[in-house]
Amino acid sequence: MSEKIMLLEDDENLGTSLKKFIQDEGYQVDLAKNLEEARTKKIDDYDLMILDWMLPDGQGVDYLKEVRAKTNAIPVIMLTARTELIDKVIGLESGANDYVTKPFEPRELVARIRAQLRLSNASGGAEKESDGKVEVAELMIDKNQREVFFGGKAVEMTKMEFDFITLLAEHPNRAFSRDEILNKVWGYEHYPTTRTVDTHVLQLRQKTRDDLIETVRGVGYRLRFNG
């Protein structure tokens, strides 16, 4: 069965043409024209989401936060006419996996879709929603029992260490900025300094393997997985 994609785009002409183009590439596509319509759909039914930034009843980045509060498993590609770097940063830090600026060629979007689906599949279907387990390489995380195993051995972790490594494991090879990690793991209401992230990376490396969590120069960190 081909992968299923949700396309959230309020421009009727663009949405219809993109839906047809993506379907012609072998994917199933559901088109939603606003947030109200999108919220009637079950996120878990989809393998990928394409999300417009500006919508008639709200902003795509706000809806993205709703999605990420429910699941980190679905890749999301943002579509926007915004070209400022800060807008890209906001989109990525809100949970987007990729960012495409309008105008764009549909072929480019399809290439981005394939790349995100390959990455999602390469993680071995990293997150198994049915049993709450995340498995990447030698790492296995049981989210229900809040247990971590590395190389088959149980690893004791603090609450923040557990939440941190789970975030990275659910998105193998995706680079997270320090600020994004602080937001997702610690939350703004308990916002520490970025030095806290560096300290926790050191602790996680000591408990697993030095090269499991990779430093991405100028960005932050990612969990390295070669398939």
pLDDT at 52 (0 to 100): 92
Mean pLDDT across the chain: 85
Tell me: the pLDDT tens digits for 132-166? Answer: 788 887 899 988 888 999 988 999 999 889 999 99
Whether residue 106 has a cis bond before it, omega within 30° of 0: no
- Quote the pLDDT of residue 13: 93
Is residue 128 within 8 A of residue 215, CB to CB? The reply is no
- Residue with the bigger pLDDT between 123 and 5: it is 5
CA 106, CA 111: separation in Å to the nearest integer?
9
Classify domain 4-122 by CATH architecture.
3-Layer(aba) Sandwich (3.40)
pLDDT at 88: 66
CB 165 within 8 A of CB 134: no
Residue range 173-220, pLDDT digits in tens? 889 888 888 888 887 555 567 788 999 999 999 999 999 999 998 889
Give the model's pLDDT for residue 129: 44
Read off the pLDDT band of 126 (50, 70, 90). very low
**Closest to 222 in 3D by CA, of 127, 151, 136:** 136
Contact residues for 177 (Cβ-Cβ < 8 A; gap 6+): 89, 92, 93, 219, 220
Residue 61's pLDDT is: 87
| pLDDT exceeds cutoff 90 at 51 | yes
The answer to whether residues 91 and 61 touch, using CB atoms and an 8 Å cutoff, is: yes
From the candidate CATH numbers 3.40.190.10, 3.30.420.40, 3.40.50.300, 1.10.10.10, the one assigned to the domain spanning 127-223: 1.10.10.10
| Distance separating alpha carbons of residues 133 and 62, to the nearest angstrom | 27
- Grouping H, G, I as helix, E, B as strand and the rest as coil, residue 31 is strand
Helices (H), the chain: 12-24, 35-38, 60-70, 85-93, 106-122, 159-169, 178-181, 194-207
- Per residue in 71-112, pLDDT (tens digit) is 877 889 988 877 666 666 777 777 888 888 888 889 989 998
Q: Where are the domains of the chain?
A: 4-122, 127-223
Per-range mean pLDDT, top range of 25-39, 61-75, 167-181: 25-39
- Give residue 116's pLDDT: 83
Distance CA 133, CA 142 (A): 5
